[in-house]
Amino acid sequence: MYIEKSAGIEIELKGGRAIIQVLGNAGSYLATFMQGTGARAIGISVAYVALYDPKGLDIDYLLDCSDSFSTVNNLLQTS
């Protein structure tokens, strides 16, 4: 899948990488969309937490762990 810039340049998403700020409405949609096209979210920044993995983050898992404020605090809590 390609996206097209306003200058008419096509960019292939497959194999692409991105860092996403906040997993709210737009960020979670973008991360899920990218994952579906073969691109990877290699980093996210949410509130006081930043996560990075050069191999790609498991977006579905992070969304399951996020709270109503789109933070991944539940992921970092220990019992």
Q: Which amino acid is at 24?
A: G
Per-residue pLDDT band for 76 (boundaries 50, 70, 90) equals low
- Of residues 23 and 39, more confidence is placed in 39
pLDDT value of residue 1: 59
Q: How far is CA 36 from the centre of its chain?
A: 11
Place of tokens 């969309």: 33
